[in-house]
Amino acid sequence: MAWRAPSAKTSLMAETPVAFAANKLAELDARRQRRQLFETDRQTSVYVRRGGRELISFCCNDYLNLSAHACVKEAAKAAIDRYGAGAGASRLVTGDHPLLRALERALAAFKGTEDAVVFGSGYLANVGIIPVFAGPGDLILADELSHACLHAGAQLSGATLIRFAHNDMGAAKRHLAAHRARHRHCLIVTDGVFSMDGDLAPLPELARLAGAHDAWLMTDDAHGLGVIGRGRGSRHAFTPPPPIPLQMGTLSKALGSYGGYLCGDKAVCDLIKTRARSLVYSTGLPPASTAAALEALKIVEEEPARAAAPLEKARAFCAGAGLARPESPIVPLILGKEDAALAASAALEDKGFLVTAIRPPTVPKGTARLRFTFTAEHKDSDVELLASEVRKLTIPAAAE
Ligand SMILES: *Cc1c(COP(=O)(O)O)cnc(C)c1O
């Protein structure tokens, strides 16, 4: 059929993608929620160059500064020389280069699980894993503050999704009592360390609840690996470590590389390799990222003092700034309105500190904040200086 000009009626109704985008951006601007990219030259995770200025960064997830570690960089270069720049295909076709299996074995040994499976990223891991273990007719209970990609995976699965109040075991129990019986399987998902609040999930209680209600517990330990529980993750912050059959995490934070993983029993990992769509239909993790993570994992294991340092720095900062004792290297300072968070961030930037403002929808409405993260190589004197600057910030009464 020949192309015809749209009738007057349809052209009136038609909104081009460009007009749609422009309107949407104007709305976001009005709400102070528009995000922007800032080119950042980040040779180390402590000092960065932005807008022609050198700043001390307190907003990087490279907790152990391993992305710039000489041995990690060397391992990545050697992997490129040996195996090339990319994996070339899905792992199920020809992309399963030998470094992937080596990394999976190392992750399993480090975490004390039977096996592990590596994904292209943490986000891909969550959107791949959850639909393998839950589907229509099943129930997923998710902590409301869990990372966006856990919610994305839960939505993709087609299971009934209920969000329970943050770390509220009474609420989780009530939802289980009310809904568990009508569903076949039940998956409970939570961050191990909450990415925007820095607190830990009560994993022993969650494991007990899961046991009592015939549910499966899955943790996302993106911010636990390398920095909590002697580097082994949030499960190891508790004695004895509670049973968690599905332990997901990322290679892109404390390990300083890129990629995601699931640790669990062999059957769990084997099923993932044959059914997780984000593994089956996506190219394998590149050799350089795989080798870098493998080398970084070795360093975490060999240098327990490095793994302990970020939390120690966070504690020193909180003591100096008059904030509550933190449970992880992530420290939020909740300021309420978007403008207040942006102003506080700008005030610190004036003093040479880079601390980005975190705004809705990344965090709940009315809880815009500064989010500080501490790394092993932050100087104690810089941490002290930051604490004294934070003491001088005016905190809006509404946020207290
Ligand atoms: C960063 C993060 C992810 C995503 O991991 P990537 O490897 O960056 O895709 C998943 N979950 C949590 C809790 C995170 O903080």
Report the separation in Å between the CA atom of 330 and the middle of ligand 1, taken as the mean of its atom positions: 14
The pLDDT assigned to 6 comes to 55
Choice among 6-10, 105-109, 197-201 with the minimum mean pLDDT? 6-10
Phi, psi of 398 (to 5 degrees): -60, -25
Yes or no: say if 287 and 80 are a contact pair by the CB < 8 Å rule. Answer: yes
Distances from the Cα of 30 to the Cαs of 23, 59, 183, 362, in angstroms? 11, 26, 43, 17
With the C-alpha atoms ordered 278, 123, 201, 257, is the resulting torsion angle positive or negative?
Answer: positive
Strand pairing partners for 53?
50
The pLDDT assigned to 96 comes to 97
Residues annotated as catalytic (active site), given as ranges: 195, 223, 253
Report the separation in Å between the CA atom of 62 and the middle of ligand 1, taken as the mean of its atom positions: 12
Instruction: Please name the residue that has the structure tokens 């993750």.
Output: 233
- Residue ranges per structural domain of the chain: 36-67+304-399, 87-285
Atom of ligand 1 nearest to the CA of 123: 9
The pLDDT assigned to 12 comes to 62
pLDDT band at 110 (very low <50, low <70, confident <90, very high): very high
Yes or no: say if 262 and 116 are a contact pair by the CB < 8 Å rule. Answer: yes
pLDDT band at 52 (very low <50, low <70, confident <90, very high): confident
Report the separation in Å between the CA atom of 81 and the middle of ligand 1, taken as the mean of its atom positions: 29
CB atoms within 10 A of CB 308: 15
The pLDDT assigned to 294 comes to 98
Choice among 43-57, 65-79, 298-312 with the minimum mean pLDDT? 43-57
Q: What is the pLDDT of residues 60-93, one digit of tens each?
A: 999 999 999 999 999 999 999 999 999 999 999 9
Nearest CA to 248 out of 256, 259, 237 is that of 259
Tokens of 22: 């422009």
Domain 36-67+304-399 and domain 87-285, same fold? Reply is no
Q: Provide mean pLDDT across the span 155-181.
A: 98
The pLDDT assigned to 33 comes to 84
Atom of ligand 1 nearest to the CA of 221: 13
The pLDDT assigned to 352 comes to 96
The pLDDT assigned to 271 comes to 98
Choice among 4-13, 64-73, 332-341 with the minimum mean pLDDT? 4-13
> Whose CA is closest to atom 8 on ligand 1?
122
Q: Provide mean pLDDT across the span 288-307.
A: 98
Residues 265, 49: Cα–Cα separation, whole Å: 44
Nearest CA to 361 out of 203, 196, 235 is that of 196
The pLDDT assigned to 394 comes to 76
CATH 3.90.1150.10 fits 36-67+304-399, yes or no: yes
Choice among 38-42, 146-150, 366-370 with the minimum mean pLDDT? 38-42
The pLDDT assigned to 41 comes to 87
Report the separation in Å between the CA atom of 250 and the middle of ligand 1, taken as the mean of its atom positions: 6
CA atoms within 13 A on the CB side of 162: 19
Instruction: Pick 87-285's CATH classification: 3.40.640.10, 3.10.20.30, 3.40.1260.10, 3.40.30.10.
Output: 3.40.640.10
Is residue 2 over pLDDT 60?
no
Is residue 58 over pLDDT 90?
yes
The 8 Å CB, 24+ separation contacts for 27-33 are 31/338, 32/338, 32/339, 32/342, 32/359, 33/338, 33/359, 33/360, 33/361
| Residue to mutate, 61, 107, 123, 363, ligand 1, most ligand atoms under 8 Å from C-beta | 123
Is residue 398 over pLDDT 70?
no
The pLDDT assigned to 51 comes to 82
CB atoms within 10 A of CB 265: 14
Yes or no: say if 168 and 214 are a contact pair by the CB < 8 Å rule. Answer: no
With the C-alpha atoms ordered 316, 242, 253, 148, is the resulting torsion angle positive or negative?
Answer: negative
The pLDDT assigned to 5 comes to 57
**pTM score, two decimals?**
0.93
Percent of the chain scoring above 90 in pLDDT:
89
pLDDT band at 399 (very low <50, low <70, confident <90, very high): low
Is residue 44 over pLDDT 90?
no
Could you tell me which residue, 121 or 6, shows the higher pLDDT? Answer: 121
Q: Provide mean pLDDT across the span 279-304.
A: 98
Phi, psi of 153 (to 5 degrees): -65, -40
| Residue to mutate, 130, 149, 228, ligand 1, most ligand atoms under 8 Å from C-beta | 149
Q: Provide mean pLDDT across the span 209-220.
A: 98
Atom of ligand 1 nearest to the CA of 251: 7
Yes or no: say if 126 and 149 are a contact pair by the CB < 8 Å rule. Answer: yes
Which residues approach ligand 1 with their CB closer than 6 A? 121-123, 147, 149, 191, 195, 220, 222-223, 250, 252, 260
CB atoms within 10 A of CB 238: 15
Q: Provide mean pLDDT across the span 37-43.
A: 85
Compute the mean pLDDT over every residue in the chain, rounded to the nearest whole number. Answer: 95
Q: What is the pLDDT of residues 245-263, one digit of tens each?
A: 999 999 999 999 999 999 9
CB atoms within 10 A of CB 249: 29
Q: Report the alpha-carbon angle 283-195-71, nearest 5.
A: 55
